[in-house]
């Protein structure tokens, strides 16, 4: 019985709120301000959803770029630059349910020289499974990354940043020299004992992400092992996980297989903690700034609700005379303010949806001209949680914007006059 009466009470409050919003006002200014409030909320809502959708697009694009280099799971030493994995460990990893491929990689900072140019970069040795673990091969823009082709000179794939600074590419057809420096003090009688060197032939140039393009070059693992004299050692074991596999469970199983406190396993978030933190921080910073737009737009609601209270003084007095409590009157005006804001918010959602779909389909807003950008137009991704977040924000802002006029309406004295 109590629940039924409460439902009837809520329905009555909503019906009064809808009547006050929809009904013809005696003062035209109230009508104008009400629709201005709806328009302001619509524009603010649309702007917030569009910007969040663009951030979703950039976040997804950046993550896709990094996922072409960073593996889903990566085993690295806690201290030191390399470790020697046992054949048993590799076999056990390949035997785990959910693991698609395991790749052995070995990195070392080296000096590349070509003609009179010198560049310090990271030389990364990769095995035949590497293309199964990452998507680096699809980012080779010039030449190829086929290390299985026999040749007198070992192949090398450069990042476009390294290639530009070195002045070497797949079209030069001249070998470049790579120097790897040994640990320890060199012999004064034989300065060449301080380093080992090897010739490489550039077979391809990749373009992935500026930070990676400027630092990394790829070569066959066996060549790098011989160059830096670390046969059997790896800098990391990089792992590709089967689609829909439980990465958290796999990570625990791998850590158990390692049987060493000096070796750790990391997921993509742990490998790029700073990047993920920046992406989330920027997103919430923009959300906070654009929410201020909605707060400013809510001042129109305060104005329209205050004028509505003045216009409905006689109605308020009649309701009080009929026995309606102050709390119910307060709820009527708060509901009117929220209804006003939600209509604007729904219009804004439809507007944002239309703009985002147009951008996804036709790429109306371009990033720039030429090859300076990896994509032509601003990327956009629509997520339902963004719409729910914005609508919830609008409801909260509308509640507080309507609260003061609603309190004033509930405190109005009963004054009935014959007109």
Residues 172 and 104 placed together within one structural domain of the fold: yes
| Residue 417 belongs to some domain of the structure | no
CB 363 within 8 A of CB 376: yes
Burial of 188 (0-12, 13-18, 19+ CB in 10 A): exposed
For the cut 90, the answer to whether the pLDDT of residue 222 exceeds it is yes
49 vs 346: CA distance, rounded Å: 11
Q: So what's the pLDDT on residue 11?
A: 66
Same domain? 75 vs 204: yes
Shared domain for 116 and 193, answered yes or no, is: yes
Residue 88 forms part of a structural domain: yes
Q: Is 220 in contact with 227 (CB distance < 8 Å)?
A: no
141 with 50, same domain? Answer: no
Over residues 67-81, the mean pLDDT reads: 92
State percent of the chain over pLDDT 90. 51
Asked if 167 and 125 sit in the same domain, the reply is yes
Total of domains in the chain: 2
- Strands 117-126 and 216-220, bridge-based pairing: parallel
Examine the domain organization and report whether 279 and 266 are in the same domain.
Answer: no
Same domain assignment for residues 279 and 209: no
On whether both 50 and 190 belong to a single domain, the answer is no
Is residue 419 situated within a structural domain? no
pLDDT of residue 62: 83
* pLDDT value of residue 311: 73
Res. 4: pLDDT tops 70? no
Query: 10 Å Cβ neighbour count for 322?
Result: 7
Judgement on whether residues 247 and 177 belong to the same structural domain of the protein: yes
Distance CA 66, CA 218 (A): 16
In a domain, 220, yes or no: yes
pLDDT in the model for residue 35: 80
Confidence of residue 163 (pLDDT cuts 50, 70, 90): very high
Whether the predicted pLDDT of 20 surpasses 80: no
Structural domain ending residue among the three candidates 271, 293, 308: 271
Looking at the domain assignment, is residue 280 inside a domain?
A: yes
Please tell me the distance from the alpha carbon of residue 226 to that of residue 381, in angstroms, as a whole number: 46
Whether 418 has a pLDDT exceeding 70, the answer reads no
> Is residue 415 domain-resident?
no
Residue 416 located in a structural domain: no
Q: Can you give the pLDDT at residue 305?
A: 78
194 pLDDT exceeds 70?
Answer: yes
350-382, pLDDT tens digit by residue?
A: 999 999 999 999 888 888 765 667 788 899 999
User: Which residue segment(s) compose the domain that 129 sits in?
Assistant: 71-271
Mean predicted confidence (pLDDT) in 332-349: 87
62/174 same-domain check: no
Tens of pLDDT, residues 93-150: 999 999 999 999 999 999 999 988 999 999 999 999 999 999 899 999 999 998 987 6
Choosing from 229, 251, 271, the residue where a domain stops is: 271
User: Which of 237, 271, 305 corresponds to the end of one domain?
Assistant: 271
Assess whether pLDDT exceeds 90 at residue 43: yes
Residues 100 and 230 in one domain: yes
Cα 58 to Cα 116, 194, 204, 356: the distances in Å are 39, 45, 27, 14
This model's pTM is above 0.85: no
In this structure, are 237 and 382 located in the same domain?
no
Residue 154 domain-assigned (yes or no): yes
């Amino acid at each position: 019985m109590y629940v039924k009466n409460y439902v009837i009470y809520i329905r009555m409050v909503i019906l009064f709120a809808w009547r006050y919003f929809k009904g013809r006002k005696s003062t035209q200014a109230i009508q104008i301000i009400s629709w201005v409030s709806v328009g302001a909320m619509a524009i603010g809502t649309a702007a917030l959803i569009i910007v969040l959708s663009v951030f979703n697009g950039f976040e997804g694009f950046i993550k896709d770029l990094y996922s072409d280099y960073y593996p889903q799971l990566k085993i690295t030493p806690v201290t030191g630059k390399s470790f020697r994995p046992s054949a048993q460990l590799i076999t056990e990893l390949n035997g785990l349910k959910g693991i698609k491929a395991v790749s052995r990689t070995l990195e070392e900072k080296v000096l590349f020289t070509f003609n009179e140019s010198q560049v310090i970069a990271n030389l990364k040795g990769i095995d035949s499974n590497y293309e199964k673990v990452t998507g680096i091969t699809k980012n080779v823009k010039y030449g190829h990354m086929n290390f299985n082709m026999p040749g007198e000179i070992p192949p090398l794939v450069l990042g476009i940043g390294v290639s530009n600074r070195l002045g070497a590419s797949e079209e030069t057809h001249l070998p470049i020299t790579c120097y790897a420096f040994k640990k320890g003090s060199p012999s004064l009688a034989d300065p060449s004992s301080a380093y080992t060197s090897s010739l490489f032939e550039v077979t391809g140039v990749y373009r992935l992400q500026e930070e990676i393009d400027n630092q990394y070059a790829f070569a066959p693992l066996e060549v790098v092992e011989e160059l830096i004299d670390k046969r059997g050692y790896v800098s990391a074991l990089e792992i590709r996980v089967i689609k829909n596999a439980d990465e958290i469970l796999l990570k625990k199983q791998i850590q158990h297989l390692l049987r060493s406190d000096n070796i750790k396993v990391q997921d993509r978030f742990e490998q790029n903690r700073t990047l993920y933190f920046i992406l989330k921080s920027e997103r919430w910073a923009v959300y906070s700034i654009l929410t201020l737009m909605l707060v400013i737009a809510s001042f129109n609601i305060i104005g329209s609700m205050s004028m509505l209270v003045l216009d409905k003084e006689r109605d308020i007095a009649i309701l009080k005379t009929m026995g309606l409590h102050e709390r119910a009157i307060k709820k009527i005006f708060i509901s009117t303010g929220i209804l006003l804001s939600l209509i604007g918010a729904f219009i804004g959602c439809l507007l944002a949806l239309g703009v985002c779909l147009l951008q996804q389909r036709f790429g109306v807003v371009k990033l720039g001209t030429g090859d300076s950008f990896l994509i032509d137009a601003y990327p956009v991704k629509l997520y339902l949680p963004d719409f729910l977040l914005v609508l919830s924000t609008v409801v909260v802002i509308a509640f507080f914007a309507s609260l003061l006029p609603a309190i004033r309406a509930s405190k109005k004295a009963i004054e009935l006059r014959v007109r």
